[in-house]
Structure 1
Amino acid sequence: MKKRMVAAAALFSLAIIVPGGAAAELPAEVVQQIRELAEQNQKIVAQNRLLIERIEKLEQAVAENREAAGEVNSQLADYDGSLLQKINERVTLSGLVEVEGAVTDDFNGTNTSDLALATVELGLDAEISQWSSAHLLLKYEDGASGLGVDEGTITLGNLDNYPVYLTVGKMYVPFGNYTSNMISDPLTLNLGESNEDVIQLGFEANGFYGALYAFNGEVEETGRDNLVREVGASLGYLYANDEHALDLGVDWLNNIADSDGLSGYLMAAPPEGAGLTEIADQVNGIAAHLLYNYGPYSLIGEYVAATEAFAASELAYNGGGAKPKAWNVEVGYTSELMGKETTLALGYQGSDQAVDLGLPEKRYLAAVSMGIIDNTSLALEYIHDEDYSVANGGTDNDAETVTMQLGVEF
C-alpha cells in the first residue's frame, strides 16, 4: 500500500512538474492513469486521516478504561480492607486443646493407664449490632462421637447502656459455678451441671447479677405433658479491686433431676441406671458458691444439693430414696517459678447419698500447673478417693489417680 501511495504521489508530482506541452506529448492513456492514481491517493489520504482519528479515539478510550479500572480496584481493595477490619472488630475466635495422660488404681483394685485427646473447643463470639450478639461453642470430649454444638445463643441487650438482657438458645443454666484449679471436674459439677435449650432473662447492676430462666427438661413428672416446666433463678454479687476479688452466689432449680449427671443416670438402662424418663415428683435443687482472691491466694467453696429425696425406685440410698449432695473446697497459691506463672492447689471434695451416681464419698486433691510458654500450660494432678461403705452400697475401698495435662488456649 505504501509503495502504491509513493508511486502515485511521484506520478502526480510528475504531472504537475511536466509542462503542459510535455504532458500533452504523453499518450492519453498514461495521462488518464496519472489522473486516476492522483484521485486514489487523495482518497487514501482521507482514509488515513479517518483511521488516525479512530486510533486516537481508541487510545483515549483505553486510557479512560484503565483509569476507571484503577479506581474500581482501589475501591475493591478499600472494601476488602474495611470488611476484614469490621470482621476483626465484631468477631472473636477462641479455642482450647487439651491432651491428658492418666494412671488409675480404681475401687476394685484394677490398674489402668491411658493417653487421650481430652478436650477440643472452638468458640465464636459475634457482635451483630449494638444491642444484639451471638455466641457459638463447638466441643469435643474424650469418648464423644465427634465435635458438636455445646453452646449456641443469641443475646439481646447492652450491659454498657442497660442492666437487663435476654438470652435464648443452648447453654449451661446458671445453677452452680464449678470453678476449680484442678484438672478434673469437681463433684459439684457431676451432680448439678445442666446444659439445656433455655430462655433466660438476666441483669447486672452495681456488682449484683442474677437471672430467671426456663426450659423443657428430659425427665418429666409422671402424668405431666411435655411442656416447658423447668424453671430456675440465680442471684449473686461480684466485687473486685487491685487486691481483693469476691464472688458470692446462690441458685435454685425446681427439678435437679434434669441435671446432666442425674438425668444421665435416671434415663440409662439398668444396671448402669434406673431406666426412667419420668419421676413421681420434681425434686428441687439448690447451689451456693464463694470465690475469694487476695493477692496470690485463692479460696473456692461450693455446695450443690437436692432439697428433698427421690423415690427409692428412682435413686436409692441405704434402703430408701436418696437426697444427693456434693461440695468442693479448694485453696490455691499463684506465683512465679523459674520465671513461669505457677499455681499450687489443694482440695477436698465430698458427696452424700450419691453412691448410685458413681461419686466417691470423699476426695482429696493436689495439683500444680505452670504456663510453660505463651498460651500453653502443663499441669499435674493427684486424686485420692474414698468410696462409700459396703452397707451404703459402696466398696469401702480407696482409689488413686495421677493425671498430666498439656493444654493450649487461644
Structure 2
Amino acid sequence: MKKLIMSLMFMVLICIALPAMAQNSIESNKGSADQKPGGVKSLEKRIKQLEEAIDRNVESDKWYDRIQVSGLVEVEAGYSKFEDNNDPTADTDESDVDLATVELVVDAKIIKHVDGHVMFKYEQDDLFVDEGFITLVGTEAFPAYLIAGRQYIPFGYYDSHFVTDPNTLVLGETNQGAAVAGYRFGGGMVDLAVGAFNGEVDKAGEDNAIDSFVAAVTIQPLYFLMAGMSYTSNLSSSDSLSAAIEDIGVTELNDLVGGWSAFVTVEFLDRFKVIVEYVAAVDDFEAGELYDTTDTQKRKPTAWNIELGVMIIEDLELALRYGGSDDGADFLPESQYGAVVNWGFFKNTSLALEYLHDEFEETSLAVDQEADTFTAQLAVEF
C-alpha cells in the first residue's frame, strides 16, 4: 500500500510538471532559486546569509550603519494521529495552533574582515541565544576564514522542502561552542573546514574538555550540482541524540561515538530539485546507552532522506519525501514518507501544507508505532 501511494504521488507530480517544463530558462531559474518558499534552513542557507552579511560594504563610521537586522516568524497549526500497535490505550489524537518559531538575527560589520553575528530564538516556550560568534575572513588571494563561538558545526547538510526536519537533521545537527577554520578555493567551488568543540556527552573517566572535532568538504562544480561529506568524532553530542541519552539517565558513554555524513543535491530541467542525504554512526553505542537502559543490544543508528521538489509555477512548489532509519527505535522512524506544498503568496511570506506518515519499529524494544501528521505553516521573513 505504501509503495502504491508513493508511486501515485510521483505520477501526479510528473503529470503536473511536464507541461510547464519548457517555460523557464536556466538563467531565470538561477535567479529565483534562493527565493523558493518553504523548507528547513540548511547549512548552505546559513552560510549564504553569513556571506551576505560579511560582504556588505559599509562606508559610514556610525555604529547603526554597521548593523543589519533580519528575522523569521513561523506560526503552525497541526493535527496528529498516533497509534501504538502494542498498546492501543496509548493511541492519541492531538491538534494545536501556536507560534512555532521566532528568530531575530543581528549582524555587525566591525571592519572589512571582521563580523559579529547573534541569533536570538524563541522555540517551544523558550527564549535563548541560538548562535553567537565572531567571523574572521581573509582576502580574495587568501580565502580562509575562522568562525569562533556558538554555532552549528559543519556536520551534515540538512536541506529540505518540508516544514518538519528530516531524519538526518534529527540524528546529526549539532549546535555547540566551537572554533571552525576553513579555506575556499577554485572560486568557491571547494570548501574545506575543520573544527573543535566540547561535546554535550563525555567519555567515562575523561575530564570535561575540548575533546571532539569535525571535518567537512563541500564541492559545487556546477551551479546546479552540490555534494559533500563530513565527519564528527562525537555524533552522540548532536542536539537530539544527547537529549535522548540524558532522558534515560545516562551521563557518560563507554566511548564517544563518531558519525559521518554524505549528501548530493541536483537541480535539473529548470525546475526540479533532488536532495539525497545519509547520516550514520561510525561505531556502536554499548547496550543500555541509547533509548533504554535495559536494552541488551548494541545500537548503531543511521538515517537517510530523499526528496524531489518541483516548482509548478513561480512561487508554488510541490515536493515528496521518503526517508528512514536503522536502529532508530522510537527516536527515529524506520520509514517516513509524505508531501508538502509551499506557496509564496506575498513577498517574504509563505504558506506550507504538509502531510507525513511515520512508522517506528524495533522488535527487541517492543516498539511498533505509526503516526500521521498534518501541518500548516505560515511564515514571514524580514
Bin for the TM-score computed over the shorter chain: 0.7 to 0.9
Give the secondary structure class of the aligned counterpart of 1:138: strand
Matched, 1:328 2:305: yes
How many angstroms apart in 1 are the aligned matches of 2:162 and 2:291?
Answer: 30
Segments of structure 2 that go 5 or more residues without pairing to the other structure are 1-58, 85-90
- The structural deviation recorded for 1:83 is 5.8
One-letter code aligned to 1:319: T
Match in the other structure for 1:309: 284
* TM-score, normalised relative to structure 1: 0.73
Give the secondary structure class of the aligned counterpart of 1:355: coil
Match in the other structure for 2:31: none
How many angstroms apart in 2 are the aligned matches of 1:247 and 1:82?
Answer: 37
How many angstroms apart in 1 are the aligned matches of 2:251 and 2:370?
Answer: 33
Match in the other structure for 1:197: 177
* TM-score, normalised relative to structure 2: 0.78
Of the three residues 245, 256, 270, the one matched with 1:282 is 256
One-letter code aligned to 1:127: K
CA shift digits 1:146-193 (9 cap, x unpaired): x21100110111354421111100000001111100010001111101
Of the three residues 199, 210, 214, the one matched with 1:228 is 210
Q: Going by fraction, where is helix more abundant, 1 or 2?
A: 1
- The structural deviation recorded for 1:224 is 1.0
Matched, 1:118 2:100: yes
Matched, 1:150 2:130: yes
How many angstroms apart in 2 are the aligned matches of 1:194 and 1:159?
Answer: 29
| Contact 1:107–1:387 (CA under 8 A) maintained in structure 2 | no
One-letter code aligned to 1:383: L
Change (3 A) 1:387 1:210: same
CA shift digits 1:13-48 (9 cap, x unpaired): xxxxxxxxxxxxxxxxxxxxxxxxxxxxxxxxxxxx
- Aligned identity (percent) is 41
Aligned pairs for 1:10-409 within 5 A: 87-88=64-65, 90-108=66-84, 109-141=91-123, 143-145=124-126, 147-158=127-138, 160-206=140-186, 207-241=189-223, 245-268=224-247, 273=248, 275-294=249-268, 295-315=270-290, 319-336=296-313, 341-356=315-330, 358-389=331-362, 391-409=363-381
Work out which of the two has the higher radius of gyration on C-alpha atoms and give 1 or 2: 1
Number of aligned positions between the proteins: 313
How many angstroms apart in 2 are the aligned matches of 1:316 and 1:193?
Answer: 18
How many angstroms apart in 1 are the aligned matches of 2:83 and 2:218?
Answer: 38
How many angstroms apart in 1 are the aligned matches of 2:195 and 2:255?
Answer: 20
Give the secondary structure class of the aligned counterpart of 1:264: helix
Change (3 A) 1:225 1:82: closer
| Contact 2:244–2:291 (CA under 8 A) maintained in structure 1 | no
- The structural deviation recorded for 1:296 is 0.6
Segments of structure 1 that go 5 or more residues without pairing to the other structure are 1-80
How many angstroms apart in 1 are the aligned matches of 2:80 and 2:323?
Answer: 18
Instruction: Identify the structure with bigger relative contact order (alpha carbons < 8 Å, sequence gap 6+).
Output: 2
How many angstroms apart in 2 are the aligned matches of 1:97 and 1:159?
Answer: 35
How many angstroms apart in 2 are the aligned matches of 1:259 and 1:327?
Answer: 16
| Contact 1:132–1:158 (CA under 8 A) maintained in structure 2 | no
How many angstroms apart in 1 are the aligned matches of 2:102 and 2:141?
Answer: 35
Give the secondary structure class of the aligned counterpart of 1:321: coil
- The structural deviation recorded for 1:225 is 1.3
Give the secondary structure class of the aligned counterpart of 2:240: helix
- The structural deviation recorded for 1:394 is 4.7
| Contact 2:288–2:296 (CA under 8 A) maintained in structure 1 | no
How many angstroms apart in 2 are the aligned matches of 1:208 and 1:106?
Answer: 44
- The structural deviation recorded for 1:395 is 3.9
One-letter code aligned to 2:281: A
How many angstroms apart in 2 are the aligned matches of 1:236 and 1:216?
Answer: 24
| Contact 2:303–2:324 (CA under 8 A) maintained in structure 1 | yes
Q: Going by fraction, where is strand more abundant, 1 or 2?
A: 2
Change (3 A) 1:231 1:217: same
Which aligned runs of 4 or more in structure 1 are off by greater than 6 angstroms? none
